[in-house]
Amino acid sequence: MADSPDKPRGIVRDIVPAGICRIAFPHLKTRNDGGQFPSHKFEVHALWPKDDKATIDLLHAKALEAARQTWPGIAAKDLVVGLRDGDEKANLDGFPGSVFVCAKSSKPVAVYGPAREVLTADDVGGGDYCRVCLSAGSYKRNLEPMVAKDLITAGRKVVTEKGADGKVSYFLPAVTFYLNAVQLVRLGEGFGGGAADPGVFPAEEGTAFG
């Protein structure tokens, strides 16, 4: 059976980019079990500016290192890396002009403050500035046979594997990123806008709450 992102074959641990990222859609207190794309994992989207070349180069290098534990000699151009272009999510605050990873964990991760003091998951929100500790893990990204044949025709590298039953599986060599820990560097304005001016509401007569 082909691997999934939950079962990496090659792994490089404790990757801490020097670049500070912004956090979006944090699920640090509870797993992402709802919404349109539930992963059933603890996760964050970590966003770096596109001009943070050092971070981008580091993530690609570590991804290739993990992949070569599984597929020795694989070229970077033949690898699918879970570092995505934020312009693909132009409708989401903070994503345009960035690159991002969606880093996940099957267990709760540690959260630290600027002086490495222990914090809780409640202390980190969307829009905050953070550092993340990641692992890069290789896996087989499964393909349907017709999709695989189209990719081969287009010149993409597709790996085939024959099972004991003689059935041929197709996959792309891929690397995803796993979340180990988060360090909150400083608070940021929440994505989606700040607090509204209370003057936009009419004042009701009577006793105020509180």
pLDDT at position 193 is 46
Instruction: Read off the pLDDT band of 195 (50, 70, 90).
Output: very low
Q: 7 vs 108, which has greater pLDDT? A: 108
Q: Which residues of 68-103 are buried (b: 16+ CB within 10 A; e: fewer)?
A: bebbeebeeeebbbbbbebeebeebebbeebbbbbb
CA angle 43, 48, 54 (to 5 degrees): 120
Q: Collapsing DSSP states into helix, strand and coil, what is residue 42?
A: strand
Question: Is 205's pLDDT higher than 80?
Answer: no
> In this structure, is the dihedral angle defined by the CA atoms of residues 110, 113, 115 and 117, taken in order, positive or negative?
negative
> Has residue 209 got a pLDDT over 60?
no
pTM of the predicted model as reported, rounded to 2 decimal places: 0.83
Token pair recorded at residue 10: 């090659």
> Could you state, in order of their start, the residue ranges of all structural domains in the chain?
11-140+173-188
Provide the pLDDT confidence category of residue 7 given band limits of 50, 70 and 90.
low
pLDDT band for 1, please (50, 70, 90 cuts): very low
Whether residue 47 is predicted with pLDDT greater than 80 in this model: the reply is yes
Out of 2.40.50.140, 3.20.20.105, 3.40.50.970, 1.10.10.10, which CATH number does the structure's domain 11-140+173-188 have?
A: 2.40.50.140
pLDDT at residue 194 in the model: 44
pLDDT, averaged across the chain: 89
| Ramachandran angles phi, psi of 88, nearest 5° | -65, -20
User: Residue 164 to residues 146, 168, 169, 170: CA-CA distances in angstroms?
Assistant: 22, 10, 11, 15
Q: Picking from 82-96, 145-159, 167-181, which range would have the lowest pLDDT averaged per residue?
A: 145-159
Quick one: average pLDDT of 49-55?
97
Q: How confident is the model at residue 200 (pLDDT cuts 50, 70, 90)?
A: low
